[in-house]
Amino acid sequence: MKTQNLKTNAHDVPTGILQSDFAEEGGKNGPTPAEIRQRAFEIHIERGGIHGCDLDDYLQAERELQEKHIKSSRE
User: What is the pLDDT at residue 22?
Assistant: 45
For residue 58, being part of any structural domain is answered with yes
Answer whether residue 29 shows pLDDT above 60.
yes
For residue 26, being part of any structural domain is answered with yes
Give, in degrees to the nearest 5, the angle at Cα 20 between 62 and 17: 45
Residue type, 35: E
For residue 25, being part of any structural domain is answered with yes
Q: What is the pLDDT of residues 30-45, one digit of tens each?
A: 999 999 999 999 999 9
| CA 52 vs CA 4, 19, 22, 58: distances in Å | 18, 20, 24, 12
Q: Which domain holds residue 62?
A: 19-74
Cα distance between residue 66 and residue 9, in whole Å: 23
For residue 32, being part of any structural domain is answered with yes
Check: pTM over 0.85? Answer yes or no. no
Could you give the number of structural domains in the chain? 1
User: What is the pLDDT at residue 20?
Assistant: 41
